[in-house]
Amino acid sequence: MKCPYCNKDMQQGVIESNHILRWKKTGSLINRFKAHGHAVRLSRGSFVKGESAEAWLCRDCCKVVIDYSILWT
């Protein structure tokens, strides 16, 4: 994948966490156990196995791209 910022090659990998990865609006509150309408879940997994999201890393401009559409296919 080419970086959308600098157009150089990106490296494919995963981001891992013990908790659900979510995007939310700045300043909004999220209850860890309850999803809110404005929050977007970025990872897939379970409480036991942990969470992960496929991601692309650009080492040149220090950006990470996550395509969360793969969670719903």
Q: Could you give the angle at the alpha carbon of 20 between the alpha carbons of 72 and 8, nearest 5°? A: 70
Q: State the pLDDT confidence band at 6, using cuts at 50, 70 and 90.
A: very high
What pLDDT is recorded for position 30? Answer: 58
Q: Which two tokens stand for residue 31?
A: 């209850």
To the nearest whole number, what is the mean pLDDT of the chain? 84
Query: Among residues 33, 14, 36, which one has the least CA distance to residue 25?
Result: 36
The model carries a pTM of 0.74
* Distance, CA of 51 to CA of 17 (rounded, Å): 5
Q: What is the pLDDT of residue 20?
A: 84
How do residues 34-72 score in pLDDT, each as one tens digit?
555 678 888 888 777 889 999 999 999 999 999 888 766
Q: Rounded to an integer, what distance in angstroms lies between the CA atom of residue 62 and that of residue 53?
A: 18
